[in-house]
Structure 1
Amino acid sequence: MRAIEITTPGDVRIVEREMPQMGKGDVLLKIKYVGFCGSDLSTYLGKNPMVQYPRIPGHEISAVIEKTGNEVPEGFQKGQNVTVVPYTNCGQCTSCKQKRFNACRYNETLGVQRDGAMAEYIAVPWQKVLKDEALSDVQLALVEPLTVGFHAIDNGKVTDIDTVVVFGCGMIGSGAIVRAKLRGATVIAVDIDDVKLKIAQQLGADFIINSKEKDLHQELLEITNGDGPNVVIEAAGNPVTYRAAIDEVAFAGRVVCIGYAGTEVAFTTKLWVQKELEIMGSRNANPSDFEAVIKYLKSSQVDENILISKTVSPEEAPVAMKEWSEAPGKIMKILVQF
C-alpha cells in the first residue's frame, strides 16, 4: 500500500508498505482523509524529540471500516464511517488511575511515537474507533484537532461569567474559541495574521486583536474594563505569548498552556505569586472532548471548510509540507485525501 513517510528531517516521500497486520480485537480502516498536524511539521523540521525516523505521520483521521477482527463487537460493520482516538493509555500510571487518559505517562500517539495514518490502510483497536454516520468525511478528519482546544477550555474551568483570551488562532486555538463560546464566555482572539483572526470571528470570537498592529495590553484593558481576562489559553507555543499570558491575565486568573515553545521561557515570579495564578498544561484530549466536538460539528451552522487551507493528494503532500514549513503562520489545516 502507499504511505507518506518522513524519512529524515526535510525529506518526505511516497513509499510502499506492507498491509497492516490485524489482531483479533482490531479494525482495519481504509483511510479517506488525514490532516497534517503541527507535530508533523515539527517532525519534518527535525524538531520533534519524540520521533524516530523514518516515520509515517498523521493522527487526524477520517476513514471507513474495511474489515473487523474476530473479537470486535458486532456494532462495528464494514462500510461505516469513523474517526479515531489516536492515543494509547496504559491504565496503570498516575494519570490513568485518575482517568486522565490523555496525559498517560506512556502514551504513544499515532504519527509521533509510532507510525500514523498517512497510508491507504491502518489497523487500530476497536476501542479507539468512533463511529458517526452523521458527519461528513471532511468533518471526521477535523474532530481530533478540535478536541485539543476543547480540552484546554475544560482544564481552564471556563464558564459563562469568564472572559477568555486565546493566543494563537490556528487549529488548536480555533477549538478553544469554539468551546469557550459554547460555554457562554466572552472570547478575545489574538494573533498576528488577519486571515486567522477573521476565521476566529466566524467561529464566534467577540473581539479580535492583531498584536502585531495594536497594543495588546491597552486593548485588553479596554475590553475588560481594566481587569484583564479571567482565563488565558496559550495556543501559539511562543515565548512571547507565554510571558504575555502571565502579564495580561487577571488577578486570581487561570492560564492554560497548550503550545510547545521552541526555546526556554523565563518568567518573573512576582506576578505569578502576586496574582495567585492557576497555571497548568493541557495535553491531547479525553473521550468526553471527542463527544463534545462531534456534537458541535453535527449542530454547527459554521462551514467547517473555513478551517481547511488546502486538500492535496498523497503525491502532492511533500510539496505541501515544504510550502507549509516556509510559511507556517499562513496555514490552518492541510488535508491529504487518499
Structure 2
Amino acid sequence: MKTLVLREPGQIALDVSTEPAAPAPGEALVKVHRVGVCGTDIHAFRGKQPFFSYPRVLGHELGVEVLAVGEGVANVKPGYRCSVEPYINCDTCVACRKGKGNCCTRIQVIGVHADGGMRERIILPARKLHPSAKLSYDQLALVETLGIGAHAVQRSGLQKDEFALVIGAGPIGLAAMQFAVEAGAKTIVLDINEARLEFCQKQLGVQHAINGRTEDVLERLMEITNGDLPDVVFDATGNAASMMKSFEYPAHGGRLVFIGLFVGEVTFDDPNFHRRELTLLASRNANPEDFGRIIGLIESGRINTLPWITHRATVEEVPGLFESWTKPETGVLKAMIGF
C-alpha cells in the first residue's frame, strides 16, 4: 500500500509498505482518506521536532473510514467515518487513572513516537475513533487540531467577557482563538504575519489584532484592556523568546498557558511573577471528551473549518511539495493530503 515515509530530515518519499493484518480484539482497520499537515510534521521535516526518530511515517490529523473491527468493538462499525484521537495511552498509569490520558506517562502519539497515518490503511485501537455521520473527511481531519485549542482553553478556566490573548496565529493558536471566542471571551491575537492577523479577525471573529513587529505590544494591550492587561494569555509559538516574554502580558491574578513547547529552559523574573500572583499552566494534547464536543460544534455549524484549508495535494504529489509547505512565503495555513 502507498505510504509516505520521512526517511530523514528534508527527505520524504512515497514508498510501498505491507498491508496491516486483520484487527485484533478492541482494534479497527481503517482506510485513511485525509491527513492534515501540522506544525509537528513541519518541525520533523526540518529536523527540529523534539523526541523524534527517523525514519517515520508522519500523520496524526486523520479523517478515516472503518473497514473492519475486531472482537468486542461496539463504538464503530464498518462504513463509519471517524476522526482519530492519536494519543495512545496505557490506561493504567497515574495520569490515566485520573482521566488525563493526554499526558500518560507512557504515551505514544502516532506520527510522532510511532508511525502515523500517511498511508492507505492502518490498525488503531477502536476506542480512539470518534464517528460522525455528518462531517466530511476534511472536517474530521481537523478535529484533532481543534482539540489542542479546546483543551488549552478548558485548562485555563477562561470565562465569558474575560480578555484572552493568544500569541501565535499558526493552526494551534487559531484553535485556541476559536474556543476563546466560543467561550465568549474578548479575544486578542498577537503575531508578526499581517495576513494571518487579518484571517483571525475576518474568519474567526477575533476582536483585536496586534502586529508584534510594528506595534508596541504592552502599550496596545493596555489600550485594549483599559489598563488591566489580559486575564488569560496563551502562548502557542513554541518559541523560547516568546514564551519568556509572555510573562509580562497577564493581568494581576491572571493565568499564562503554554501550549507550544521547545527543548530547553524557560526563565522568568520571580518578583514580577509573584507580585502578580500568576498561575502558570502547561497544556498537552486533548482528551476524548474534547473530540466529541468539537464534532458536535462543527455539525451544528458553530465552528466552520473550511477556511482553514489553504493547500491540497494527492499522496503522489506530496514528495515534490512538502518542502514548499515549510516556507512562510507559501502562505500555508493548513495543507490537506488526500489518499
> What TM-score results when the alignment is normalised by the length of structure 2?
0.95
| Local SS of the residue matching 1:315 | coil
1:325–1:263 CA distance, 2 compared to 1 (3 A): farther
Show the counterpart of 2:187. 187
Show the counterpart of 1:118. 118
Show the counterpart of 2:307. 306
State the alpha-carbon separation in 1 of the partners of residues 178 and 95 from structure 2.
27
Show the counterpart of 1:173. 173
TM-fit CA distance, 1:302: 5.7
TM-fit CA distance, 1:291: 1.7
Residue correspondence of structure 1 range 68-217 to structure 2 within 5 A: 68-73=69-74, 76-201=76-201, 202-217=203-218
Contact 1:26 1:123 in 2 (8 A): yes
CA RMSD of aligned residues (A): 1.6
State the alpha-carbon separation in 2 of the partners of residues 98 and 69 from structure 1.
28
Contact 1:85 1:128 in 2 (8 A): yes
1:236 aligns with 2:237: yes
| Local SS of the residue matching 1:123 | strand
State the alpha-carbon separation in 1 of the partners of residues 24 and 154 from structure 2.
35
1:329–1:241 CA distance, 2 compared to 1 (3 A): farther
Contact 1:134 1:298 in 2 (8 A): yes
1:282–1:206 CA distance, 2 compared to 1 (3 A): same
TM-fit CA distance, 1:193: 1.1
What is the one-letter code of the residue matched to 1:48?
Q
TM-fit CA distance, 1:310: 0.3
Stretch deviating more after TM superposition (221-230 or 322-331): 322-331
Show the counterpart of 2:24. 23
Show the counterpart of 1:43. 44
State the alpha-carbon separation in 1 of the partners of residues 179 and 327 from structure 2.
30
Contact 2:298 2:304 in 1 (8 A): no
What is the one-letter code of the residue matched to 2:196?
K
Q: Note the alpha carbon deviations across 1:130-181, whole angstroms, 9 max, x for none.
A: 1101111110011001110111000100010311000011111111111111
State the alpha-carbon separation in 2 of the partners of residues 329 and 158 from structure 1.
34
State the alpha-carbon separation in 2 of the partners of residues 305 and 12 from structure 1.
27
Contact 1:148 1:285 in 2 (8 A): yes
State the alpha-carbon separation in 1 of the partners of residues 26 and 303 from structure 2.
37
| Local SS of the residue matching 2:256 | strand
Show the counterpart of 2:55. 54
TM-fit CA distance, 1:292: 2.0
Q: Note the alpha carbon deviations across 1:106-127, whole angstroms, 9 max, x for none.
A: 1100101100000000111111
| Local SS of the residue matching 2:317 | helix
Contact 1:171 1:333 in 2 (8 A): yes
1:191–1:278 CA distance, 2 compared to 1 (3 A): same
Contact 2:36 2:141 in 1 (8 A): yes
Contact 2:9 2:46 in 1 (8 A): yes
Contact 2:40 2:49 in 1 (8 A): yes
Q: Could you list the runs of 5+ residues in structure 2 that have no partner in the other structure?
A: none
State the alpha-carbon separation in 2 of the partners of residues 126 and 302 from structure 1.
26
TM-fit CA distance, 1:11: 0.8
TM-fit CA distance, 1:320: 2.6
Work out the number of aligned pairs and report it: 337
Stretch deviating more after TM superposition (101-110 or 289-298): 289-298
Show the counterpart of 1:222. 223
TM-fit CA distance, 1:264: 4.0
State the alpha-carbon separation in 2 of the partners of residues 329 and 320 from structure 1.
11
State the alpha-carbon separation in 2 of the partners of residues 86 and 46 from structure 1.
21
> What TM-score results when the alignment is normalised by the length of structure 1?
0.95
Contact 2:165 2:230 in 1 (8 A): yes
1:324 aligns with 2:325: yes
| Local SS of the residue matching 2:111 | coil
Show the counterpart of 1:247. 248
| Local SS of the residue matching 2:316 | helix
Q: Note the alpha carbon deviations across 1:2-37, whole angstroms, 9 max, x for none.
A: 011000111100011111122122111111100112
State the alpha-carbon separation in 2 of the partners of residues 7 and 317 from structure 1.
14
TM-fit CA distance, 1:263: 5.1
1:165–1:183 CA distance, 2 compared to 1 (3 A): same
What is the one-letter code of the residue matched to 1:25?
G
Show the counterpart of 2:284. 283
Q: Could you list the runs of 5+ residues in structure 1 that have no partner in the other structure?
A: none
